[in-house]
Amino acid sequence: MRKSAGITAPPGFRDSEESALGVGEVVASTYAIKDELARTETGVVFEARDLIFDRAVAIKFAWRDPGTPSLLAEARRCANVRDPCSVSIYGMGNHNGIEYAVGELVEGTLLADLLLRPLAHDDFLHKLRTLIAAVGRAHECGIAIGDISGSTILVDPTGRMVLGRLSLSQIPAFGPHGQLLAPEVLRGEVEAADPAAAEAIDLYGLGCVAVELACGRAPFTDDGHDLLQGHAYEPPPRLSDIRPDLPGELADLVEWLLAKNPAARPSTAQDVLAQLDAVIERLGTKGRTIRVLVVEDDTARARWLWSLVRRADASVVVEIASEGTDAAHKLNRDRPDLVFIDASMRGVMNALELCMYARGLEDEHASQLVVIGEVAERERAMFDSSIPFIADSLGLANAVIARVRMLAREAPRRRKPRSTISG
């Protein structure tokens, strides 16, 4: 036996090498103990046989150490998330003064060990969607996941994935580094256990696992300081550079998830799922119904807005105009449903003049105009009062997506796009 502070730890205590239960021991006249599976900070997990229902189960016993927390919170966490990525909980009890929880036994291989090569296109999209949906359901229950990586996800023989945080400790809840790798945690800006920071931390984890699924390796893989430095400060690799077969909008979504500033990430996992669904649906969609024009003279920013709008809804087709006269031509030719206009646009036709031109077009279907950026109060008064303004801030991306989705809800499949529009 090992000794702690000169005292031999009795069986069932955290520092003891002897288990409180032996192989073959029967708990509650129901569960026959088999092998020990894992030891964690809160208890020890065994494989057991349910003698009543004749099935294999996992049974976790709390440590006997004074002050050991109850297993109830952990069992409830697994039970409340109704998703295949969480194990089923069968019950709880007390055996010889030791609390235990019984749940579904899961067996398989860690995802990291399966990613010897990048996943194929369809398999990647399926697995990523499954994980995002699971995290979204956990968040709906007020539950954070923490470390989301190939080292904390088990894949069973059927392809089902189980998150370590929702496995009743059968799967590690933390990877080999034993800590959260979100930039804000590594930089000391938030505490890892801060509930207010948990959702943004999980979104960063989803971005990391997306890269791992697509490339067979995590965004930053060096050991020690270089790994932590990478997560905290260095830009991650772009999927479009290493997996050109994947949709460009998907690469943009992953880049958004991996933003170093948590406030610059998407708002919720459910919103990320909706964007991914739009990307997936677009891959098999031939008819487009909502036409959007982005008027922006900064090429990189225009490309970012283009991708953002396409992820908002699968029915959207987007065009870009780099200056006012080109935008006026496309307004007159295509009559887009929605137009985003850069407030700082200058040249032959500025933002105000373009808005006036659009309002002057005689058409029963007037385009919805939205101006992005700062406009002085005296200049804003010159715009049509029906034109909304979106501030160029960290909330811009979510505001643009919300505007597109609102239009898609209000005018579902209003009319087919003209063949002249691409995208």
Relative to beta strand 290-295, strand 161-163 is unpaired
* pTM for this model (two decimals): 0.83
Closest CA to 81 of 25, 165, 138: 138
Task: Let me know: does 210 contact 257? Beta carbons within 8 Å.
Answer: yes
SS3 27: strand
Q: Tokens for 299, please give them.
A: 């090429």
**Whole-number pLDDT of residue 140:** 96
Report the mean per-residue pLDDT for the chain. Answer: 90
SS3 50: strand
Cα(373)–Cα(393) distance, rounded to whole angstroms? 8
3-state helix, strand, coil in the chain (%, to 5): 35, 20, 45
**Whole-number pLDDT of residue 422:** 33
Task: Let me know: does 81 contact 141? Beta carbons within 8 Å.
Answer: yes
Angle formed by the axes of helices 248-257 and 195-215, to 10°? 140
DSSP 179-231: S---HHHHTTSS-TT-HHHHHHHHHHHHHHHHHHHHHSS-S----THHHHHHH
Place of tokens 């080292």: 151
In tens, the pLDDT along 28-79 reads 999 999 999 999 999 999 999 999 999 999 999 999 998 889 999 999 999 9
In tens, the pLDDT along 284-315 reads 765 557 899 999 999 999 999 999 999 999 88
DSSP 316-362: EEEEEESSHHHHHHHHHHH--SEEEEETT--SSS-HHHHHHHHHHS-
* Domains by residue range for the chain, with CATH: 3-104 (3.30.200.20), 109-275 (1.10.510.10), 286-410 (3.40.50.2300)
> What number is the average pLDDT over the span 372-389?
89
In tens, the pLDDT along 116-139 reads 887 888 999 999 999 999 999 999
> What number is the average pLDDT over the span 197-203?
97
